[in-house]
Structure 1
Amino acid sequence: MKGKIPVTVLSGYMGSGKTTILNHVLQNRQGLRVAVIVNDMSEINVDTGLIDRSGALSRTEEKLVEMSNGCICCTLREDLLREVERLAKQGRFDYILIESSGISEPVPVAQTFTYLDEEHGIDLSSLCRLDCMVTVVDAYRFWHDFASGETLLDRQQAVSKDDTRDVSDLLIDQIEFCDVLILNKCDLVEEEDLQRLEAVLRKLQPQAKLIRTSHGRINPSEILNTGLFDLERASQAAGWIQELQKDSHTPETEEYGISSFVYRRRRPFHPERLARWMEEWPETIVRAKGMIWLATRHDTAVLLSQAGPSIQVGPMGHWVAALSEEEMERVLVAEPETARRWHPIWGDRVTELVLIGVDMDRQQVERELDGCLLTDEEMQLDWSTFPDPLPGAAEGNVPSV
């Protein structure tokens, strides 16, 4: 076997057209010997049947590996490891192409090719090179799925009864972590709507190469042997992360009413008022993510993540200012940026929330969020007495202020 075998992973929600794209690539692969792994959640492998009928792949040559009733990112991770290892060691292939199931998250798949799996003793990074993470988006159904408010359980697409993921969260996960975004079924959408959707996708994922397709027709060179994948770059590619790192003083040109900003405040939220505001979450905010400072959870930074109708709140970790003196000093020496932004009273406690929206009224959103902050009078009270209806409310008294 000459060198490491390059691998491309196709992700995308169910019905986005991954299999059509896969078939098109196989029919136009220009002599490349391609091994394909299809990961299908359904009992009847419709995807596999399509690949067989295409004539681009023969089962008898053991190039096709079916992975049924499971998901690459969860129950079949070991199967994926072993199949890729087996195919790579055969030395018969120039390329491995993986079609993830529609409910698979791309990050764990990418990690599979990047780290040694100590549990199973398999190091795919010594055999393969992850070349490209591709996400396919259904241009026709995207907004319908994104705004549905449904979970995978509601749609009977969950891995198990414990799989309570929201469809909108899954769509965002797939978009935010990729090298190439394929906007498929463009022939079914009006040009103006297509341009607006494209602008939203570029805001959610500014670093990915965005390609329009109809009927999955794509030049294979767009997703094979691209050399695009870099784990560190991909991990920092999401629009909300890019927004945090931007110079906030740079004025932004809005395209199709799509805008974003970072809400930064050095004053904690009153959890009850924030909860009430979240119940009436503005529909114009498509995506929000960041850390918030809650008055009732003085020691813990709280992660707020919203994708469409799905809003999640949970602990992110301790504020540096809540650590012991020794640990605090260690962090401040190791992280000069944290030290530079240190507040004499509150330390690193701050709210930094990125908001991305369509026709979003920034000033109104800021006014409403400011109204959820503690007032001057409340700043002097015992914060632990405030009602906290948000998920994961911490117990115990807040240090006196």
Structure 2
Amino acid sequence: MSVASSHRVPVTLVTGFLGAGKTTLMRHILQNVQGHRVAVVVQAGGPLGNGGEFLRKYGMEGCGDEESIELPNGCLCSTVRDDFLPALESLLNRTDPPEHVVIETSGLALPRSLLRAFGAPTVRNRVTVDGVVTVIDSFAVASGRFEDKSASEDGMSMAGGPSAHENPIATIFEDQLSAADLIVLNKTDLLDKAGIDTVEKAIKLAAPPSARILRTTEGKVDPAVLLGVGAEAKADLGNAPSVTGVENPVFGHDDFESFVIKVPEQLSVEGFLTLLQNVARKYDVLRTKGYAAVRGQSQRLAVQGVGTLFGTSLIVPWRPEPTVWGVL
């Protein structure tokens, strides 16, 4: 670290498309920082896109939705809806500021645009961007989720396609990948070795040459690696336009539709998952989060889905009006 930045608080920006595994990565960081005072700021998205709620689910009790909350391990957590700068300023103004700040962006955010926010007068001399960590859903890449139709028709791969995509998903994915200093290739357990090798080869073609790639499952990466990227500068990248040329740091919301539905008590977990999979397949639902009551269970069922792949767990406490949130 340079002398000029030695007094600044390092910030790590964690990005990645919907369902890549960012929140799971956050949980892993908070549970394994081993005495370091780390603050996590979650940029929530969607009606139920409550990062704090799911951090609670993952065992980090106390991670709330408004003010910065001190966690039992000495770390800090807060959830923001839109602009993360006020939360960052609040953390920096504390009498006991964190040693490191990790910001989890919305799955639809453009990190190159977000980086420009660190040039704001209130924070630019107080923080240094340690690096951008991009979490990649390797199964989604292998399934063609991020391919651009126009590029495919011309015989070009996801990595070799043009910047002006017809598919907004491909545009967001490219921006998130092109800003990466460290790429966490997640969900590798869903592919065989040949499949992982193919995905990594495509990622290398599209990623910055200097970006490091780590293969993992469930976001299990050593926090010392995640929080020690050391890219530090990011000044010129923060001033550069995103691949889309859009100034708004949250891109493409007009291209996506989010919805909330209230679901009745379900007869079984298996039946509910089959229903959700059919809906996701029919309407091309990208991301699903929510809770439901299941007959005979005293705990509520937490559901997370990416496309037609779903995971569940029974958690407490129970809440009325079970809901499911989706993006398509």
2:33 is paired with a residue whose SS is coil
1:57 CA displacement: 5.6
4+ runs of 1 displaced by more than 3 Å? 53-57, 232-237
Query: Are 2:113 and 2:238, in contact at CA under 8 Å, matched by a contact in 1?
Result: no
Q: What residue number does 1:147 align with?
A: 147
Work out the CA distance in 1 between the residues paired with 2:7 and 2:196.
Answer: 41
1:21-62 CA-to-partner distances (Å, cap 9, x unmatched) read 110111101111121111111222443222123444634762
1:57-85 CA-to-partner distances (Å, cap 9, x unmatched) read 634762332223xxxxxxx3xx3122111
The answer to whether residue 220 in structure 2 is matched with residue 217 in structure 1 is: yes
2:145 is paired with a residue whose SS is helix
Check 1:235–1:196 CA distance in 2 against 1; reply closer, same or farther (3 A cut): farther
Check 1:126–1:169 CA distance in 2 against 1; reply closer, same or farther (3 A cut): same
User: How many residues get paired?
Assistant: 209
1:351-392 CA-to-partner distances (Å, cap 9, x unmatched) read xxxxxxxxxxxxxxxxxxxxxxxxxxxxxxxxxxxxxxxxxx
The answer to whether residue 84 in structure 2 is matched with residue 66 in structure 1 is: no
Query: Are 1:57 and 1:64, in contact at CA under 8 Å, matched by a contact in 2?
Result: no
Structure 1 unmatched ranges of 5 or more: 69-75, 151-163, 238-288, 290-401
Query: Are 1:149 and 1:167, in contact at CA under 8 Å, matched by a contact in 2?
Result: no
1:134-189 CA-to-partner distances (Å, cap 9, x unmatched) read 10110001243113659xxxxxxxxxxxxx97101111111111100110000101
1:326-375 CA-to-partner distances (Å, cap 9, x unmatched) read xxxxxxxxxxxxxxxxxxxxxxxxxxxxxxxxxxxxxxxxxxxxxxxxxx
Work out the CA distance in 1 between the residues paired with 2:61 and 2:126.
Answer: 23
The answer to whether residue 139 in structure 2 is matched with residue 136 in structure 1 is: no
1:178 is paired with a residue whose SS is coil
RMSD: 2.7
1:141 is paired with a residue whose SS is helix
Structure 2 unmatched ranges of 5 or more: 1-5, 70-75, 151-165, 244-328
Work out the CA distance in 1 between the residues paired with 2:22 and 2:57.
Answer: 16
1:10 is paired with a residue whose SS is strand
Work out the CA distance in 1 between the residues paired with 2:59 and 2:219.
Answer: 17
TM-score by length of 2: 0.58
1:236 CA displacement: 12
Check 1:236–1:138 CA distance in 2 against 1; reply closer, same or farther (3 A cut): farther
TM-score by length of 1: 0.48
The answer to whether residue 113 in structure 2 is matched with residue 108 in structure 1 is: yes
The answer to whether residue 21 in structure 2 is matched with residue 17 in structure 1 is: yes
Match of 1:183 among 178, 185, 191: 185
Work out the CA distance in 2 between the residues paired with 1:87 and 1:165.
Answer: 37
Query: Are 1:10 and 1:99, in contact at CA under 8 Å, matched by a contact in 2?
Result: yes
Work out the CA distance in 2 between the residues paired with 1:233 and 1:203.
Answer: 22
1:86 CA displacement: 1.2
1:38 is paired with a residue whose SS is strand
Structure possessing the higher relative contact order (Cα contacts under 8 Å, 6 or more residues apart): 2
Match of 1:99 among 101, 104, 114: 104
